[in-house]
Amino acid sequence: MEQLTTFFKNFWNDEEGLETIEILLILSVLIVIAIMFKDKIMEWANKLFNDIDTEIMN
């Protein structure tokens, strides 16, 4: 039982994987935001490409 307690204490205090978790959390927040505003982003991108096409044709 003492080995299990020691393992969990060491695991809880270990900070090596902390940077990875932070990056994953930031990426997940960005993905959620992108999904929430998908329609607005697509509308903006389509308008941008249409404007570029118009400028190229003129």
For every one of its 58 residues, what pLDDT tens digit does the chain have, with 9 covering 90 and above? 788 889 878 877 776 667 778 888 999 999 999 999 999 999 999 999 999 999 998 7
Alpha carbon distance 51, 56 (integer Å): 9
Question: Which three-class secondary structure state does DSSP give residue 10?
Answer: helix
The label of the residue with tokens 């695991």 reads 11
pLDDT given at position 15? 67
Alpha carbon distance 16, 21 (integer Å): 10
pLDDT given at position 45? 95
Alpha carbon distance 22, 13 (integer Å): 16
pTM score of the predicted model: 0.52
Q: Where are the alpha helices (DSSP H) in 1-58?
A: 2-13, 18-36, 38-57
